[in-house]
């Protein structure tokens, strides 16, 4: 029997993710969006690709959640992009309201599902979905680290003229300007990057990775990245549906690991049929720990703004 995956948000990231999952062939996909006819149109278009790509997976579009009932996994990409004149907090609170509403529907219709949140600002939205869902932390986590790491790996492979497959890297912390690329754990064919590249060059690539999302936005003019993000989401979906027990950087609700408690931040985690099955703690140097703490403090600031807005709402 095929698994069932719902993707909420049929925009660039959601639709591309749905297409990638459909092409795997072992999961049916329900695409949900508030825009009338949009998810239906995109889903039908994908379904009609099935005979060509050799996938019997069924893709369905909907403006409601009935079709999504009893999904094994739900990916949340619903949200709005930051518009000119909009403050960071405006975006935060708008996407908080959207992801809260989406989560309540998801929980109602798929009480046993695993949720992967993708909406930005990522770490704060994962925290919101986790808190709104009432699910245990193994069933709610977010995608950012694989994308950040993939960007870093791409730049390293380009620079050294080697296969991307041979470049292993780790990016921790929040999905923002203060993400923490772990240079010490970055290897090429098992060889530490410091043996192959000057420190100055590594620093340049780290900086480019930090600005990876912005670089794409500047080129696209409208909208933000979606090919690499959807590939990263699909890797997480596959790890769960196929119980692969992959160790991947994910945004996870920490309960004391890495000295952080009660906050969603990017760390290495094991993904399998149980969702986020384990946080993999690694020893950090003083400097790395300080960077991670700084990154977590930025996430905490956003979470505090959300909590305050929620407290005001409920008064």
Give the residues lining the site for ligand APR (CB under 6 A).
8-14, 32-35, 77-79, 81, 98, 101-102, 118-120, 223-224, 226, 229
Nearer to ligand APR, 10 or 193 (CB): 10
Nearer to ligand APR, 10 or 107 (CB): 10
Grouping H, G, I as helix, E, B as strand and the rest as coil, residue 133 is helix
Q: Which residue is at the shortest CB distance from ligand APR?
A: 11
Distances from the Cα of 58 to the Cα of 4, 44, 243, angstroms: 9, 9, 22
Residue 146 makes CB contacts below 8 A (sequence gap 6+) with 232, 235, 236, 248, 249, 250
Token pair recorded at residue 304: 């505090």
Beta strands in 9-151 (DSSP E): 27-32, 59-62, 73-76, 114-117, 140-142
**Active-site position among 42, 175, 210, 270:** 175
Find the shortest distance in angstroms from Cβ 241 to ligand APR: 21
Find the shortest distance in angstroms from Cβ 226 to ligand APR: 5
Distances from the Cα of 159 to the Cα of 191, 216, 217, angstroms: 15, 19, 22
Nearer to ligand APR, 141 or 226 (CB): 226
Find the shortest distance in angstroms from Cβ 97 to ligand APR: 8
Residues paired with residue 59 on neighbouring β-strands, in sequence order: 29
Nearer to ligand APR, 124 or 169 (CB): 124
Token pair recorded at residue 70: 């009893």
Q: In a 10 Å sphere around its CB, with 0-12 CB exposed, 13-18 middle and 19+ buried, how is residue 178 labelled? A: middle
Find the shortest distance in angstroms from Cβ 194 to ligand APR: 32
CA angle 117, 233, 50 (to 5 degrees): 120
Contact at 8 Å (CB) between 9 and 33? yes
CA angle 208, 121, 170 (to 5 degrees): 45
Find the shortest distance in angstroms from Cβ 215 to ligand APR: 14
If residue 311 lies in a helix (H) or strand (E), which one and from where to where? helix 286-313
Nearer to ligand APR, 178 or 277 (CB): 178
Token pair recorded at residue 137: 């932390």
CA proximity to 34, closest of 59, 51, 15, 10: 10
- Is 109 one of the annotated active-site residues of the chain? no
Nearer to ligand APR, 77 or 154 (CB): 77
The residues assigned a catalytic role are 175
């Amino acid at each position: 029997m095929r698994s069932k995956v719902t993707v909420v948000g049929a925009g660039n990231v959601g639709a591309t993710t749905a297409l990638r999952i459909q092409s795997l062939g072992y999961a049916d996909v329900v695409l949900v969006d508030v825009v009338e006819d949009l998810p239906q149109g995109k889903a039908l278009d994908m379904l009609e690709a099935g005979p060509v790509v050799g996938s019997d997976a069924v893709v369905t579009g909907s403006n409601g959640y009935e079709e999504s009932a009893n999904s094994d996994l739900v990916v949340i990409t619903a949200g709005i992009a930051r518009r000119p004149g909009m403050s960071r907090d405006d975006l935060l609170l708008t996407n908080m309201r959207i992801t809260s509403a989406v989560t309540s529907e998801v929980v109602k219709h798929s009480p046993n599902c695993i949720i992967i949140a993708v909406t930005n600002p990522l770490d704060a939205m994962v925290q919101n979905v986790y808190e709104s869902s009432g699910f245990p932390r193994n069933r709610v986590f977010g995608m950012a680290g694989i994308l950040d790491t993939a960007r870093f790996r791409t730049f390293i492979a380009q620079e050294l003229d080697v296969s991307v497959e041979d470049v292993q890297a780790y990016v921790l912390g929040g999905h923002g300007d203060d993400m923490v690329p772990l240079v010490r754990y970055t290897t090429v064919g098992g060889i530490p990057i410091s043996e192959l590249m000057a420190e100055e060059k590594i620093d340049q690539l780290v900086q480019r990775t930090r600005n990876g999302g912005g670089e794409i936005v500047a080129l696209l003019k409208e909208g933000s990245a979606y090919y690499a993000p959807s590939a990263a989401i699909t890797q997480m979906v596959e790890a769960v549906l196929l119980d692969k027990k992959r160790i991947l950087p994910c945004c996870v609700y920490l309960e004391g690991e890495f000295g952080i408690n009660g906050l969603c931040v990017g760390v290495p985690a094991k993904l399998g049929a149980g969702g986020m099955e384990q946080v993999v703690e690694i020893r950090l140097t003083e400097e790395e720990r300080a960077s991670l703490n700084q990154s977590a403090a930025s996430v905490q600031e956003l979470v505090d703004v959300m909590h305050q807005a929620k407290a005001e709402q409920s008064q």
